Amino acid sequence: MTEDLHQLAAEAEATLHAAKDSAALEAWRVRYFGRKGVLSDVMARLSTISREERPAYGKAANEFRQTLDAAFAARQEVLRQAELAEALAAEGVDVTLPGRPVSLGRMHPSHRTLREIYAIFAEMGFQVYDAPDVETDENNFQLLNMPPGHPARDMWDTFYTTTPGVILRTHTSPGQIRVMRQYCPEPIRVILPGMCYRYEQVTARSEMMFHQVEALAVGHNITMADLKGVVISFARKMYGEGRKVRFRCSHFPFTEPSAEVDMDCIICGGQGCRVCKYTGWLEIMGCGMVHPVVLRNGGYDPDVYSGFAFGMGVERPAMLKYRINDIRYFFANDARFLEQFV
Ligand code: PHE
């Protein structure tokens, strides 16, 4: 390097060293590397220099540039580290502070209740069978002994899709057809949980969507006594050992005979209260022996096989259990409601 370039480099390094923050560093960069900066002056001088001196000057100019580059990079790094250290000191994290709690999800009260139901039926040897929410009119009604125009359909007005004959199921009973058709001629012992949909006025007591759990047993020599035994064991495991259970004659097109099951009111113990409408009884499910037509639709010969089925709601018992007074809370997605179920 020539003398004056040495001099320039020394100056540059000195002023660079004096730059104490990134603003000063930037000012330095503009001064030395800028378009009208020192380096470009030094390079421009090359053309004014005599041919003989040019190679030596060119080499020196290059060294000058390299010196500046290296010094700048080093200074930049020093300042970066200093700024980082300063920021760390200023915004320091106190690792001894307790962490922010991660909010955990909770079990939805419907699913809690479903799981209790699964556990009780699992003990009795029932498997869980998943059937779809979107069903055919055929499975939901026709194969369950409700041809088009059957008056019982009024009880289960539904939502229709734009595909003719495809609906949202109004109950879990169409799953019976699916299970039977899949397993025929094997014996069956399943529960079918899931959402059901009804085109209904939504009130504190009824929603247009809700869960049901269906149970189906098909085999040889299955009788009404089996139905009653399973229902009573279930009610006592679910609601308490001392529960009284009664079967009331009823009608469903897909069972024969049919019954509705009541148990003594868990709120008042059968004394009569607002919840049981002063009857002392709460209805918990519909049930019956699988209708021969339905067995046949599932592939089973009703002269050889018999079966029972029942279907119950899930939100209603959850309401009783957790003293929830409005069914609409279940699907309103309000965290203030859901948070109460730990
Ligand atoms: N599917 C009926 C309902 O939704 C309940 C039921 C199921 C009744 C099985 C009898 C047998 O009301």
Whether 142 lines ligand 1, by a CB cut-off of 6 Å, is no
Distance 252 CA to ligand 1 centre (A): 7
173 Cβ below 6 A of ligand 1:
yes
Confidence of residue 256 (pLDDT cuts 50, 70, 90): very high
Q: Is 309 in the pocket of ligand 1 (CB under 6 A)?
A: yes
pLDDT digits (tens, 9 = 90+) for 34-80: 999 998 888 888 888 888 888 888 898 899 999 999 999 999 999 99
Look at residues 168, 220, 221, 212 and name the one whose alpha carbon lies nearest to residue 194.
Answer: 212
CATH number (3.30.360.10, 3.30.70.20, 3.30.930.10, 3.40.50.300) of 109-338 reads 3.30.930.10
C-beta of residue 106 within 8 angstroms of C-beta of residue 339: yes
Q: How far is the CA of 3 from the centre of ligand 1 (A)?
A: 103
Q: Is 145 in the pocket of ligand 1 (CB under 6 A)?
A: no
In the chain, the percentage of residues whose pLDDT exceeds 70 is 100
Instruction: Reply yes or no on whether the pLDDT at 138 is more than 80.
Output: yes
Token pair, residue 293, equals 């037509």
Per-residue pLDDT for 155 more than 80?
Answer: no
Mean pLDDT of 119-133: 97
Q: CA-based angle 72:76:81, to the nearest 5? A: 155
Q: What are the boundaries of each domain within the chain?
A: 2-90, 109-338
Give the per-residue pLDDT at 1: 56
Element (H, E) at 278: none
Nearest CA to ligand 1 atom 4: 171
- Mean pLDDT for the stretch of residues 142-171: 90
Instruction: Decide if 118 contacts 128 (C-beta within 8 A).
Output: yes
Q: How many other CB atoms are found less than 10 A from the CB of residue 107?
A: 13
Atom 12, ligand 1: residue with shortest CA distance: 286
Stretch 194-211: mean pLDDT, rounded? 92
- pLDDT the model gives residue 181: 98
Reduced DSSP (H G I as helix, E B as strand, rest coil) percent helix, strand, coil of the chain, to 5: 45, 20, 35
**For a pLDDT cut of 90, what percent of the chain falls above it?**
66
Is the bond leading into 147 cis (omega within 30 degrees of zero)?
no
pLDDT of residue 287: 98
The mean pLDDT of the chain is 92
**For residue 201, how far is the Cα from the chain centroid?**
27
pLDDT digits (tens, 9 = 90+) for 287-341: 999 999 999 999 999 999 999 999 999 998 899 888 898 999 999 999 999 989 8
pLDDT of amino acid 233 = 97
Q: Tell me if 259 CB under 6 Å of ligand 1.
A: no
| pLDDT the model gives residue 2 | 73
pLDDT at 151 over 90: no
Does position 219 have pLDDT exceeding 90, yes or no?
yes
Q: How far is the CA of 324 from the centre of ligand 1 (A)?
A: 24
